[in-house]
């Protein structure tokens, strides 16, 4: 078992769809970024980001992302996408993602995303709201 996966406080379960496979008979690389996105949105819901965004028009925006593929996923399978925040700064944080295959019983992909808080009304970066920062620090044991 991958301890980093187990340490994540937010994870979701997603069935692999046959249509996610490509001509080489494995899940296409683009799909992993959708899995990351789904985990990221589950995390945002847990910490109240959507409510803050609705009230203030300040919210997260994905600045960059990457993935390290460790083993191909095949249909049929079910995956567990887990995420946590590993670094937090004044206006941004780094999320780690892990994709675990039930069929293989291991992490098959790892990723990372840099998320910047953004003022959508004024089109500029914004500090992370205090309530969100505190929830992240508590959830992921960050100081």
> pLDDT over 90 for what percent of the chain?
95
Quick one: pLDDT at residue 11?
A: 97
* Token pair for 124: 């500029």
Distance CA 2, CA 98 (A): 9
**Residue 71 confidence class, pLDDT cut points 50, 70, 90:** very high
pLDDT tens for each residue of 27-37: 999 999 999 99
Distance of CA 26 to the CA centre of its chain: 22
* The token pair that represents 121 in the structure block: 């009304």
C-alpha–C-alpha distance, residues 80 and 106, integer Å: 10
pLDDT, one tens digit per residue, over 47-64 is 999 999 999 999 999 999
């Amino acid at each position: 078992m991958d301890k980093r996966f187990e340490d994540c406080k937010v994870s979701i379960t997603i069935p692999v769809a046959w249509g996610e496979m490509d001509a080489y008979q494995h899940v296409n690389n683009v799909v992993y970024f959708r899995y990351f996105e789904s985990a990221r949105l589950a995390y945002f819901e847990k910490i109240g980001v959507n409510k803050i965004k609705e009230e203030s028009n300040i919210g997260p925006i994905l600045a960059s992302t990457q993935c390290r593929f460790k083993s191909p996923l095949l249909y049929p399978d079910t995956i567990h996408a887990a995420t946590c925040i590993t670094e937090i700064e004044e206006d941004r944080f780094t999320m780690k993602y892990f994709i675990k295959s039930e069929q293989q019983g291991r992490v098959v992909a790892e990723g990372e995303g840099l998320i910047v808080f953004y003022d959508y009304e004024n089109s500029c970066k914004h500090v992370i709201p205090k309530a969100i920062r505190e929830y992240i620090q508590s959830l992921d044991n960050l100081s």
